[in-house]
Chains A and B, each alone.
Chain A
Amino acid sequence: MSVKTGFQKAAICGDILFAANGPNIYAFNASSGAHLSSWKYPHPWLTPKDTAEKVAAQTEGKVAGTKDERADHESATKEDEAEAQEDGPPSKRRKVGAEPGQEVTSKKDESHAPEPDNEQAVSGQQDPKTETAAKGKGSKPKKEKAKGNGKDYGLGFGKQKAVLDIPMFQCMTTTSDGKYLVGVIGSSKTIWTFEHDGHGKLTEISQRPMPKRPCSIVITGDDKTILSADKFGDVYALPVIPGQQPSGDVPTSQEGTPTPSTPGTPQPFKYQANPLTVHTRRNLLALENQKRVAEQQVGFTEKSTPQVDFEHKLVLGHVSMLTDMVLGTHEGKEYIITADRDEHIRVSRGLPQAHVIENYCLGHKEFVSVLHIPKSHPHLLISGGGDDHLYLWNWYKGELLQKIPVGYDAEARSKGSPELPVHPVAVSGISSFHHNERYTVIGVVCENSSTLYKYLLSKDGELKFSRHIDMMFGNALDLVATDGAIYVSLDPNLSTDRHDKLTELTQQGQGRPLDTENDNPNHFFWAALIGSSEAMSPILPDSVMLADDLPQGRYDDLHKALYTTESLRKTGYERKGTSNEEEETEAVDASEGVEGAGDVEG
Chain B
Amino acid sequence: MGTHGRRQKRDAYRAAQKDERAHELPRKKFYRQRAHANPFSDHNLVYPTRPEDMDWSTYYPAFVAEGQEEPKLTEGMEVHKAEIGDSEQRIEQALAAKPKQMTKDIEVADIGCGFGGLLVALSPALPDTLILGLEIRVQVTDYVQDRIRALRTQSGNNKDFQNISCLRANTMKFLPNFFRKAQLSKIFICFPDPHFKARKHKQRIVSTTLNSEYAYVLKPGGIVYTITDVQDLHEWMVGHFEAHPSFERISEEEQEADPCVPIMREETEEGKKVARHQGQKYVALFRRMEDPPW
Does B associate with A? yes
Closest B residue, CB atoms, query A270 = B232
Q: Does B278 contact A (CB under 8 A)?
A: yes
Q: Does B181 contact A (CB under 8 A)?
A: yes
- Selected from B172, B199, B228, the residue in CB contact (under 8 A) with A319 is B172
Interface residue ranges of B65-123 to A (CB < 8 Å): 84, 110, 112-119
Within the assembled complex, what's the spacing in Å between the Cα atoms of A429 and B52? Answer: 30
Interface string of B175-202 (1 = CB under 8 A from A): 0110001000000101111101111111
Interface string of A340-375 (1 = CB under 8 A from B): 001110101100010111011011110000000000
* B193 & A600 in contact (Cβ 8 Å cutoff): yes
Q: Does B273 contact A (CB under 8 A)?
A: yes
Q: Does B230 contact A (CB under 8 A)?
A: yes
- Selected from A317, A357, A360, the residue in CB contact (under 8 A) with B207 is A317
Q: Does A293 contact B (CB under 8 A)?
A: no
Q: Which residues of B contact A255 (CB under 8 A)?
A: 243, 245
**A227 to chain B: closest CB distance in Å?**
14
Within the assembled complex, what's the spacing in Å between the Cα atoms of A147 and B207? Answer: 21
Q: Which residues of B contact A257 (CB under 8 A)?
A: 208, 243
- Selected from B50, B202, B212, the residue in CB contact (under 8 A) with A355 is B212
Q: Does A437 contact B (CB under 8 A)?
A: no
Closest B residue, CB atoms, query A575 = B44
Query: Known: A272-B233, A273-B196. Contact between A256 and B114, CB under 8 A?
Result: no
* A363 & B49 in contact (Cβ 8 Å cutoff): yes
* A590 & B3 in contact (Cβ 8 Å cutoff): yes
Query: Known: A146-B199, A261-B201, A272-B196. Contact between A581 and B43, CB under 8 A?
Result: yes
* B112 & A602 in contact (Cβ 8 Å cutoff): yes
Q: Which residues of A contact B35 (CB under 8 A)?
A: 595-596, 599-600
Within the assembled complex, what's the spacing in Å between the Cα atoms of A156 and B215? Answer: 27
* A602 & B117 in contact (Cβ 8 Å cutoff): yes
* A274 & B228 in contact (Cβ 8 Å cutoff): no
* A279 & B198 in contact (Cβ 8 Å cutoff): no
* B6 & A234 in contact (Cβ 8 Å cutoff): no
Query: Known: A365-B49, A575-B44. Contact between A154 and B38, CB under 8 A?
Result: yes
Within the assembled complex, what's the spacing in Å between the Cα atoms of A349 and B293? Answer: 11
* A274 & B231 in contact (Cβ 8 Å cutoff): yes
**Which of A232, A317, A319, A596 has most B Cβ within 10 Å?**
A319
Interface string of B224-267 (1 = CB under 8 A from A): 00001111110010011011111000000000000000001000
Interface string of B199-217 (1 = CB under 8 A from A): 1111001011111110110
* B244 & A355 in contact (Cβ 8 Å cutoff): yes
Among B55-63, B134-142, B151-159, the one that faces the other chain is B134-142
Q: Which residues of A contact B213 (CB under 8 A)?
A: 357
- Selected from A154, A260, A316, A344, the residue in CB contact (under 8 A) with B41 is A154
- Selected from B36, B44, B119, the residue in CB contact (under 8 A) with A577 is B44
* B243 & A254 in contact (Cβ 8 Å cutoff): yes
* B208 & A258 in contact (Cβ 8 Å cutoff): yes
Q: Does B21 contact A (CB under 8 A)?
A: no
Question: What is the total number of residues of chain A having a CB less than 8 Å from a CB of chain B?
Answer: 75
**A551 to chain B: closest CB distance in Å?**
36
Within the assembled complex, what's the spacing in Å between the Cα atoms of A547 and B232? Answer: 54
A-B CB pair tally, cutoff 8 Å: 229
Q: Which residues of B contact A544 (CB under 8 A)?
A: none
**A225 to chain B: closest CB distance in Å?**
17
Q: Which residues of A contact B236 (CB under 8 A)?
A: 260
Q: Does A36 contact B (CB under 8 A)?
A: no
Q: Which residues of A contact B181 (CB under 8 A)?
A: 357, 359
Q: Which residues of B contact A270 (CB under 8 A)?
A: 232
Query: Known: A154-B41, A353-B292, A587-B34. Contact between A273 and B230, CB under 8 A?
Result: yes
Query: Known: A598-B230, A599-B270. Contact between A348 and B49, CB under 8 A?
Result: no
Within the assembled complex, what's the spacing in Å between the Cα atoms of A363 and B177? Answer: 10
**A259 to chain B: closest CB distance in Å?**
8
Within the assembled complex, what's the spacing in Å between the Cα atoms of A75 and B247? Answer: 46
* A276 & B229 in contact (Cβ 8 Å cutoff): yes
Interface residue ranges of A272-292 to B (CB < 8 Å): 272-274, 276-277, 279
Q: Does A415 contact B (CB under 8 A)?
A: no
Query: Known: A261-B208, A317-B207, A599-B191. Contact between A276 and B246, CB under 8 A?
Result: no
Q: Which residues of A contact B3 (CB under 8 A)?
A: 586, 589-590
- Selected from A276, A359, A362, the residue in CB contact (under 8 A) with B278 is A276
Query: Known: A155-B40, A314-B209, A595-B35. Contact between A267 and B198, CB under 8 A?
Result: yes
26 chain-A/chain-B pairs, Cβ below 8 angstroms: A154-B41, A233-B209, A258-B240, A260-B201, A277-B229, A304-B201, A314-B209, A342-B173, A355-B215, A355-B244, A355-B245, A355-B246, A356-B212, A357-B216, A363-B49, A363-B50, A581-B44, A589-B7, A589-B32, A590-B2, A595-B35, A600-B193, A600-B205, A601-B112, A601-B269, A602-B271
Nearest first, the 8 A-B pairs at minimum CB distance are A601-B114, A317-B209, A600-B112, A602-B190, A153-B40, A154-B41, A272-B232, A599-B35
A interface residues, Cβ below 8 angstroms from B: 146-147, 150, 153-156, 232-234, 253-261, 267, 270, 272-274, 276-277, 279, 302, 304, 314, 316-320, 333, 342-344, 346, 348-349, 353, 355-357, 359-360, 362-365, 570, 574-578, 581, 584-590, 592, 595-602
Apart from A154-B40, A318-B209, 13 more pairs, CB < 8 Å: A257-B208, A258-B239, A258-B242, A260-B236, A276-B279, A319-B173, A356-B246, A574-B44, A586-B6, A586-B7, A598-B194, A600-B205, A602-B133
